[in-house]
Amino acid sequence: MKFGVVIFPGSNCDHDALYALESNLGQEAVPIWHQSEDLQGCDAVVLPGGFSYGDYLRAGAIAHFSPVMKAVKRFADSDGLVIGICNGFQALTEAHLLPGALVRNANLHFVCKTVHLAAGTKDSPFTSHCPSTPLAIPVAHGEGRYHADAATLDELERADRIAFRYCDAEGKLTEAANPNGSARHIAGVLSEGRNVLGMMPHPERAADPVMGSTDGRCIFESMIGALSLAS
């Protein structure tokens, strides 16, 4: 499959995503510059982590005005698979491709550590290959606390659109296991069409055994599986 990794000025997990997709998962992966509207015929688009445009307004706020985001919106509207990781998730909520917002962590500090995630649903092109046991995947963000009004949160739950929740190693949704104070432990959500995923944790950092965990691979493997079925 061919993945496109969008590069905004200030993206800094772009190379990590390209490396994980090419070297760890054996896929074709190409960079897409933010000023381009050409997605180069990619089967799926990755919005990587970083601090796009410095994040001086709100994380991800400026990124969604860039030419590439117009193309990404069109791609998403035509059922293309889009995954936004960390800053990419923030950009997707700013672009209203996903509901809610990511606000400052509850303890006000940036946090980098490996957390556990429970897949909230198997019914998506991003989670179909995920095991039912918790996934160990790192987070690294200062603004990752998922926020939405109660009605939106209820609707996300009702429509089975919560892709991942923060949990402990046993899968329990404890207060201590929620690294940023996210509403209802939400770590990742799906779009209404289930073809757009935003998640704060970094699956590309958990794709290589030498980095300590390969639990992030199942997310990309789910995507590859879904794309193979579609083609």
Partner 1 sequence: MSEITPAVVREHGLTAEEYQRVLDRLGRTPTLTELGVVSVMWSEHCSYKSSRLHLKKLPTKGPGILVGPGENAGIVDIGGGWAAAFKIESHNHPSYIEPFQGAATGVGGILRDIFTMGARPIAVLDSLRFGPLDDPENGARNRHILEGVVGGISHYGNCFGVPTVGGECLFDPGYSGNPLVNVFALGIFRHDQIFFGRATGVGNPVIYVGAKTGRDGIKGASMASEEFSADSEAKRPNVQVGDPFLEKLLLEACIEAMQTGAVLGIQDMGAAGLTCSTCEMGGRSGAGIEIDLKLVPQRETGMTPYEIMLSESQERMLLVAERGREAEVFAVFEKWGLDAAEIGTVTDDGLLRVNNHGETVAELQNSFLTDDAPLYDRPHTVPARSAPLDGPPVADVDSAQALDALRKLVGSADLCSKRWIWEQYDYQVRTNTTAGPGGDAAVVRVKEAGVSLAMALDGNSRYCALDPKAGAMLNVAESCRNLSVVGAQPLGATNNLNFGNPEKPEIMAQLVAAIEGIGEACSHFGAPITGGNVSLYNETLGKGINPTPVLGVVGLIPGMEAPPSSVFPAEGLTLLLLGGWMPGAEDALDRRFGSSQYARVVLGQTWGLPPALDLDFEKKVQDLTRSLVREGLVEAAHDLSDGGLAVAAAECSFGPAGMGASIAAPGDLPAVYALFHESPSRVLIAVRAETVERVQQEAAAAGVPAPVAGRTVAGFLELKVGDRTLIAAPIEGLYEAWDGALRRQLEGE
Enumerate the active-site residues.
86, 202, 204
Q: What are the two backbone dihedrals, phi and then psi, of residue 60, each rounded to the nearest 5 degrees?
A: 80, 0
Nearer to partner 1, 112 or 159 (CB): 112
Residue 57 beta carbon to partner 1: minimum distance, rounded to whole angstroms: 12
Give CA–CA dist 80/113, Å, rounded.
Answer: 31
Q: Are 105 and 115 in contact (CB under 8 A)?
A: no
Alpha helix locations (H) across the chain?
14-19, 67-77, 87-94, 150-158, 217-230
Single out the residue of 218, 217, 223, 204 nearest to residue 19, CA to CA.
204
Nearer to partner 1, 181 or 225 (CB): 181
Residue 104 beta carbon to partner 1: minimum distance, rounded to whole angstroms: 13
Nearest 5°: the CA angle 162, 163, 168 is: 95
Nearer to partner 1, 129 or 202 (CB): 202
Residue 159 beta carbon to partner 1: minimum distance, rounded to whole angstroms: 33
Which residues are near partner 1 by CB under 8 A?
A: 9-10, 12-13, 15-16, 19-20, 49-51, 53-56, 109-113, 138, 140, 142, 202, 204-205, 208, 210-212
